[in-house]
Structure formats: structure tokens, C-alpha cells
Structure 1
């Protein structure tokens, strides 16, 4: 088992995006689609938006979206994706390290998909600030890997994975102010780079903030 990379977060992610023409599929995360499809569109914040697939999907469905990411290269690709999809006017892109800086404002939806990193990231603090950014009556959606893929027989480094109730405890949200609408571990198919078929478990939290 190797040690986690010691690069600065900005350097790590810029290097990763610049090394490839595209890192992600360009399609929205399935658990975002499942959890958000029935919500009334409003304002949305997409944290760690990467190349913009989730944000663009939301914008095509009527949301006004702010996408935030640490990588300028990823944000440039996200803006291009939004323009190609005809939703540039419904999207705003901001560079944030998510910890040292964070988007301003309150949003009807805050989407945090897979905010897990092999380099420094204060996940607890970021998720707490994500909850603070939810407007009255709004939704916080968090999806995180619950463990390594089944085909990953030797994990590349020691990495603690969050538990369903562990994250709720860390958020420390007042029960009177929030309703837990989804608290679930979902198993999905996962294929290794060499084509080995397997699965991976993801944890899902959808919480609604009480209205005024």
C-alpha cells in the first residue's frame, strides 16, 4: 500500500485534467438524476463540478446553476459543455478550493457528488458549509463512495470511507430544522480499467431544510 499523494490540491487536479482531453463521461451522475428529477427547479450549487456534467444536466431542466471546482481547466471545459448544450445563460462557473474559499449565497439545491480526494480536503468542513448554503425549504444532496471497488483487491492507499450515520453526526444538523429524505447505500456495477467486472457501494444522503 502506497502513501497518499503529497501534491497541493490545485496542482494535483490541474495535472489530472490537463493530462487528458476528458476525465469524466459527460453524463450526469445517476444518483443525482434519481434524487433530483422530481424537485421543482430553482437555484443550484454544484460542488466539485469537474467538467460540468451534473450542472449542465440541471440547467437543461430549468435550474440556475453555480458550478464550483478547484481546476481552471475543468471549469473551462464545463463552460464549453454548457455552451454546446445551449444553457450558458443558466450557468455560472467559479473557482474555489472548497475549504479555503466557498461560493457565496443560499441555494434551493446543493449537490455534492463524490467530494473525496487523494490529496488534502477537509470533507467535514466542506459538507458543513454545503448545508449552510441550503436555502429554507431547499435540498442538500450528498453522494460518497462507501468503499473501494470489489475488483480493487489491494487499495492504493489507506483511505477512511464515510458511513451513513457518521456523516449525519459530523454535520450535526438540528433535527427540528432538517428532514432526512434519503439515507441509503446503493450498489452499482463497476468495471476496472482492464475490464474486470465488479461493483461499488455508494452512500446517499438527501436532506431537506425546513422552510420559513
Structure 2
């Protein structure tokens, strides 16, 4: 997985319309996460997203729908723990599809590493309102603990804003997956440009503030 430069900024979107909107701005890694959609609509959106991604040289990552990812020629797939348990790993690998896996606990990390992932996602780093989580925020220290256990890239996710990003990167994350900070921004396009500037110009990043939660540990 490419993470250098703008590739480390990893928006997660719920509709191909965001793909068409963000890729011309310079986004080069993006996950399409389709939930509660009928199969024909899932296939249509994945097919269209892959076509747009090919035009822009974007790492387009399909969430969960491993059968469609294989059938439509996706290069990347992201699976949560439940989907990992039910997926045909042999078929995924035989198709040459690269795999990212979500983790939230040490046991889930073991499950992920058993599948030889191409990247590991860790979250939620901070409190998140996007969806109810049974896990407490991981905090910045967990990023370094995870990184010490594998060589593939680590993607941090969960409650990460542009203002928190420098601390997350300083803690060792290779990429940052972003949902609400972009999709719920008053100006999503402007927010995307600000994120891309952060990743493309490391010298311009502000010094990371101390993490209060970690300081209390």
C-alpha cells in the first residue's frame, strides 16, 4: 500500500458520488463503503468507482463486498472482523486482491495477522460519533504497540480530525482513514484540500499537541 505523500490520506465514503468529487482534488487512496444497498446497486457503484480510480491512479479500496471486488477486478479490499471470518481468503488471494483488515483488540490483531494482511487498520483512536463502538478509544500509545508487531502499513481510524492528525502521524501511523471530518464538514472539498496539504508538505505540519488521555495513563 502506498502511503507516502498524498496517498496517506484515506477518506472513507458511502457513495460513488464522493469518489467523482474527491479524486479530481487529488485524493489517491479512498475506500468505498456501501451499506444496506441491493446487489445491483453495489455492483454499479463499485464498477463506476473503479473506472474513475483508474483515470486518476487512485488506490480504490472496496469495503466488505469481497465477491464483487473479485468479479469486478478491484485491486484492494477492506474487511472487518466479521466479514473476514466469512470470506473466502483463498479466492481473494488467488484473484490477486490486496487485503486490509480492521482491528480493535489484541485478539483481533492476531486474527488479522493470520490472514497476512497488506495493511492493518486500528481504531477507534479517539471517541467517535459515527457509529456505536463496543471498544474504548485506543489512544496514541496503542499505535506504537501495534506497529511493533507487524511490518505492513498501519492505518489509524476513528475520531481523527485534521487538528489531531499530526499527533497520530507522530505516534507512528502510516495513513489516516477519515470519515466525519470530511463528509460532515461545511466545505468537504476545502477540508480534503487541507488534509492533502498536510500529507504532501510534512514540514508544514504543526507540532503535535500532547495527548491528554495518554498523559493520564
TM-score range, shorter chain: 0.3 to 0.5
**Which has the larger helix fraction?**
2
Scaled by the length of structure 1, the TM-score of the pair is: 0.34
- Determine which structure has the larger strand proportion and give its number: 1
